[in-house]
Amino acid sequence: MNSVIKGTSYILAHTPEMVLYNGTTQTTERTVNPDSEYLKELPKHLRSYEEAVAYYPNQVYIGNVTPEELAQIEMPWYDKPVEGAERFGPFGEIMPNDEFLLLIQISDEFDLVKLEADFVEKVRPALAENPVVTPAMLDRIKPGVELAEIDKFVTEEAAEPLYFGGELVGCVKRAHNIDLNLSAHVLHENLVTKASGVLSVLHALRSSDVKAEEIEYLIECSEAAVGDQNQRGGGNIAKSIAEIAGLQNATGSDTRGFCAAPAHALLEAAALVKSGVFKCVAVAGGGCTAKLGMNGKDHIKKGVPVLEDMIGGFCVIIGENDGVNPELITDYVGRHRVGTGSAPQAVISSLVTDPLEQAGLGILDVDRFSTEMQNPDITRPAGAGNVPEANYKMIAALAVMRGELERPQMKDFIAKHGVTGFAPTQGHIPSGVPYMGFARLGLMNGDFKRVMIVGKGSLFLGRLTNLFDGVSFLMEPNRGVKKEDDKAADTDEIRRLIAESMRDFAHSLMLKAEQEV
């Protein structure tokens, strides 16, 4: 029987200072042109925490607003705050920067994170009020140190500074003097991924009926690479997340595939559960500091706030079929084969129409397609257009070519079967998976009969191949779990058919023998 989707979570952490000091666009600019006007202008375009919470796409991401409601709001969205916006939503939360820094310290196993003493004392009570933060996690908070000690690590020992409210409040120390993979910058990047992954897992447990001890395997699918110079990218972020999140019965591993990794990881999880290897598997992806402020230059040129100020994360829990939760269908999946090529039509065909043909379905049999959920409020000012809409236009064009749709109906198809983009540009995060929370609810309450999740990736970024990548799968309502007597009846029927076949075969042998005589 197919495995089911038992819970989902989506979290954000507002990290404006990390935009300045950890986003690749900014760190590169600081190296190449440290006195640039862009770096001087950038701080004026950073949002407050309250502005980030009230931002429509962020409220959609944590489940307080639906994508359908977002589609009714005229763009741009950054100047139309959500009234009464809340930090917590059905899927997760938007954590402020100070609490996230303390969560990073909690996630640190090697005493690499130093936070100022007064800062720790001030933030600890606020973090303690978070409903998903456990007492065991609070016990891991280390006493703070003097600011002079932090300043010395930053100025003399190449530590990565940590800021809050424009003030230095901590640092991440390097773990090796020479190994670049253990530099303070890389360790900071990996600790952020780990901490946001921990928060994602905790919220997935909160929003489901799954207990921490039930999860047997965790797959981490971000874009971070953990390891030293002898095994760069060796991992294992998954196991490190499970440790802090209290998944005492879990083991795990990392899956990497650029933006397509979450979809790959979910197929792996579904296969592990369906085969009986594990009963419950979680898939999690932490955030990416490198992508913070990635399009900042274009945003500032056009008078747009720096919207890429959020660290994102997600978690999906896959379990045995319970007769209730939506099924993740693995009988037919889309896959970008090596021989598919890179033409847009070929890519979409391999991921959308090929698996539907295997299932005997048409494009219109899918209620919603979730492709690359990039927020167009971010991508359009940068010249990248509306990425989800472009994908839906291609799918609609295929439907026209297949005779399932008339050309004048394409616009209506996009509105009916597409999903408005709302995900932060965190690399792997937007690709298909942000909609799974809404899809799960829609399938359970009867709004949808079928949803397709499409993950795509650009493997050429690693300079090893020019290939694209991608996999897709369907989510459908639960078909129901057979009762034991139904299983027994099936077994009896199979035995009867085998017995009849054996009798028929024996009879045919006897007839053949008589004919030969």
pLDDT in tens, the chain (517 residues): 999 999 999 999 999 999 999 999 999 999 999 999 999 999 999 999 999 999 999 999 999 999 999 999 999 999 999 999 999 999 999 999 999 999 999 999 999 999 999 999 999 999 999 999 999 999 999 999 999 999 999 999 999 999 999 999 999 999 999 999 999 999 999 999 999 999 999 999 999 989 999 999 999 999 999 999 999 999 999 999 999 999 999 999 999 999 999 999 999 999 999 999 999 999 999 999 999 999 999 999 999 999 999 999 999 999 999 999 999 999 999 999 999 988 889 999 999 999 999 999 999 999 999 999 999 999 999 999 999 999 999 999 999 999 999 999 999 999 999 999 999 999 899 999 999 999 999 999 999 999 999 999 999 899 999 998 999 999 999 999 765 555 545 555 555 555 555 555 555 545 554 555 4
* Helices 237-245/184-206 angle, 10° precision: 50
Question: Contact at 8 Å (CB) between 61 and 422?
Answer: yes
DSSP 219: E
Which helix (H) or strand (E) segment holds residue 410: the answer is helix 410-417
Q: What is the CATH number of domain 4-476?
A: 3.40.47
Question: Contact at 8 Å (CB) between 279 and 230?
Answer: no
Q: Rounded to whole angstroms, how far apart are CA atoms 23 and 306?
A: 12
**How far does the chain reach from its first CA to its final CA, in angstroms?**
50
Question: Contact at 8 Å (CB) between 286 and 196?
Answer: yes
Residue 475 phi, psi (nearest 5) = -115, 135
Question: Contact at 8 Å (CB) between 31 and 298?
Answer: no
Amino acid identity of residue 517, one-letter, is V
Which one, of 77, 74, 160, lies nearest residue 113 by Cα?
Answer: 160
Instruction: For the full predicted model, state whether its pTM sits above 0.85.
Output: yes
DSSP 289: G
